[in-house]
């Protein structure tokens, strides 16, 4: 099945693969980047504009129009950076901004950044237009006028070196570290070997893995940065009084945050770590990157990631075209903008929730498949998704998006490779 893009059916190759080689057709943006989807996003810039933005987008849900936004009224440089990266993501072809009018978000700045990328962009201010009904009408008219233009976005060849892939685990249990996570790690090894870019996170679920990360640092100075990222996460959670360890993890057979961390670590594979990113930072070159999602400075905003989708949004803000999502207990979420591939670790969970899963990694436990065979299935499915095939979450209409408050300091010179 192919995805439906604005105004047209996607006529994409589903990815022709041979060994590690793969080619498919993507979408060429005016800024030179290449995307695997061609969506139009409607963005609310404060919760007060959420309903209006949702009403604007709702009639076009099956035509590649997606809803995202930021609920806060207090200004946030972090939120601005993430929304700027997301609205100029290579999977995004056009943007409609919806503002109430009195919030603190710098809407003019965001509009200028989107326009500079060459994408069609419009800004609607509810208080200036005259209220809910008039803004909804104006927004829908603008989308109707842009969809034909978006359907004409030029196609271009894409290959693995163009691809940025993220990974996250959610609803982990005792099977996650035995099947889905190590299989994902094998895929990450193959991506790095093929010249692609691979991004893993979350530092709050790497506690106890500092030495393992440091040993894989591509440069001595990066080893210190990797250790510092995890140590920061440990201090953050100590201040909060709890770690990234939910009751569902315990019910699924995990015993400690260290055990969970070691399982999560396996998703990163075995290759050298090229650099460290913070949300909204784009990798300067191919390789394997750690995304540090724990805020810098004093604890101000509570739990670093209130849900898995908060981390998915941050991965997308770093340029990820698609996300590999491993789960043992079972998760149904997807995401706006970038497809989410669900890899189920537990064969019992897969039997109950097959309609929400793309890959059954639990076959490793039942003896039906090896880790290498599961990794190969993930690989082939990933290439097909890059070429236009829908993931289960896409087909079910999952387009979750969460953006909250955080604070980050700029990256230091030891974080990224010299290009």
Mean pLDDT of the 340-348 span: 96
> What backbone phi and psi angles, to 5 degrees, belong to 395?
-65, -35
Query: Contact, 370 vs 41, CB < 8 A?
Result: no
**What pLDDT sits at residue 19?**
44
Quick check: 360 pLDDT over 80? yes
Sort 177 into a burial class: Cβ within 10 Å, 0-12 / 13-18 / 19+. Answer: buried
More confident residue, 133 or 173: 133
CA atoms within 13 A on the CB side of 176: 30
Angle at 389 between CA 387 and CA 393, to 5 degrees: 130
Mean pLDDT of the 71-86 span: 97
Q: Could you tell me the domains of the chain?
A: 4-156 (3.40.50.2300), 163-395 (no CATH)
Indicate the pLDDT class of residue 248, thresholds 50, 70 and 90: low
**What pLDDT sits at residue 382?**
98
Angle at 1 between CA 4 and CA 121, to 5 degrees: 20
Quick check: 235 pLDDT over 80? yes
Query: Contact, 138 vs 124, CB < 8 A?
Result: yes
**What pLDDT sits at residue 252?**
52
**What pLDDT sits at residue 251?**
53
**What pLDDT sits at residue 13?**
36
Quick check: 8 pLDDT over 90? no
**What pLDDT sits at residue 91?**
98
Mean pLDDT of the 35-61 span: 98
* Cα separations in angstroms, 340 against 139, 188, 307, 335, 391: 28, 15, 15, 7, 7
Q: Where are the alpha helices (DSSP H) in 194-292?
A: 210-215, 220-240, 247-251, 257-265
How many other CB atoms sit within 10 Å of the CB of residue 248?
15
Dmax (CA) of the chain? 63
More confident residue, 254 or 409: 409
Q: Please name the helix (run of DSSP H) or strand (run of DSSP E) that holds residue 384, with its range, or none.
A: helix 371-386
**What pLDDT sits at residue 18?**
43
**What pLDDT sits at residue 203?**
87
Quick check: 394 pLDDT over 80? yes
> pTM score, two decimals?
0.92
Compute the distance between CA of residue 308 and CA of residue 310 in angstroms, rounded to an integer.
5
**What pLDDT sits at residue 243?**
65
Angle at 53 between CA 51 and CA 56, to 5 degrees: 110
Q: How high does pLDDT run on average in the chain?
A: 91
9-13, 134-138, 351-355, 362-366: least confident range:
9-13
Q: Give the distance, in angstroms, between the CA of residue 411 and the centroid of all CA atoms in the same chain.
A: 20
Q: Where are the alpha helices (DSSP H) in 124-202?
A: 126-129, 132-150, 180-193
Mean pLDDT of the 161-173 span: 92
Compute the distance between CA of residue 147 and CA of residue 406 in angstroms, rounded to an integer.
34
Bridge partner list, 295: none
- Residue whose pair of structure tokens reads 């035509």 in the numeric block: 63
% of the chain with per-residue pLDDT over 70: 90
Which two structure tokens, joined as six digits, stand for 65? 């129009």
Identify which of 203, 218, 162, 208 has the alpha carbon closest to the alpha carbon of residue 22. Answer: 162
**What pLDDT sits at residue 256?**
56
141-155, 156-170, 237-251, 307-321: least confident range:
237-251
**What pLDDT sits at residue 249?**
53
Q: Please name the helix (run of DSSP H) or strand (run of DSSP E) that holds residue 169, with its range, or none.
A: strand 164-169
**What pLDDT sits at residue 347?**
95
Quick check: 2 pLDDT over 50? no
Provide the 3-class DSSP secondary structure of residue 104.
coil
More confident residue, 8 or 30: 30
Mean pLDDT of the 346-369 span: 96
């Amino acid at each position: 099945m192919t995805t439906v893009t604005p105004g047209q059916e996607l006529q994409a190759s589903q990815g022709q693969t041979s060994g590690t080689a793969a080619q498919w057709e993507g979408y060429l943006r005016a800024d030179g980047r290449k995307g695997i989807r061609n969506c139009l996003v409607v963005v609310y810039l404060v919760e007060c504009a959420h309903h209006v933005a949702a009403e604007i987008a709702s009639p076009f849900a099956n035509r590649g129009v997606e809803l995202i936004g930021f609920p806060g009224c207090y200004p946030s440089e972090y939120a601005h950076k993430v929304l700027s990266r997301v609205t100029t993501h290579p999977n995004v072809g056009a943007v409609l901004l919806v503002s109430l009018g009195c919030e603190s978000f710098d809407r003019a700045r965001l509009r200028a950044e989107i326009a500079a990328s060459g994408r069609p962009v419009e800004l609607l201010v509810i208080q200036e237009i005259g209220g809910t009904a008039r803004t909804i009408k104006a927004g829908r008219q603008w989308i109707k006028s842009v969809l034909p233009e978006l359907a004409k976005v030029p196609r271009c060849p894409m290959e693995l070196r163009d691809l940025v892939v993220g990974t996250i685990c959610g609803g982990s249990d005792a099977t996650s570290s035995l099947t889905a996570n190590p299989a994902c790690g094998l895929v990450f090894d193959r991506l790095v070997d093929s010249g692609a870019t691979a991004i893993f996170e979350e530092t709050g679920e790497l506690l106890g893995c500092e030495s393992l990360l440091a040993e894989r640092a591509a440069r001595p100075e990066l080893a210190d940065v990797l250790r510092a990222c995890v140590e920061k996460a440990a201090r953050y959670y100590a201040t909060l009084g709890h770690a990234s360890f939910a009751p569902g993890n315990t019910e699924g057979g995990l015993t400690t945050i260290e055990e969970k961390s070691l399982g999560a670590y396996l998703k990163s594979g075995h290759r050298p770590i090229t650099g460290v990113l913070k949300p909204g930072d784009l990798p300067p070159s191919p390789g394997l990157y750690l995304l540090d999602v724990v805020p810098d400075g004093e604890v101000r905003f509570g739990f670093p990631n209130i849900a898995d989708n908060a981390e998915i949004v941050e991965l997308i803000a770093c340029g990820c075209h698609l996300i590999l999502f491993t789960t043992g207990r079972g998760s149904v979420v997807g995401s706006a903008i970038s497809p989410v591939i669900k890899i189920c670790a537990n064969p019992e969970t897969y039997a109950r929730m097959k309609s929400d899963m793309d890959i059954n990694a639990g076959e490793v436990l039942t003896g039906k498949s090896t880790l290498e065979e599961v990794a190969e299935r993930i690989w082939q499915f990933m290439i097909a998704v890059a070429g236009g095939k829908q993931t289960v979450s896409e087909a079910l209409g999952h387009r979750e998006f969460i953006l909250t408050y955080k604070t980050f300091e700029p990256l230091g010179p030891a974080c990224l490779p010299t290009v």
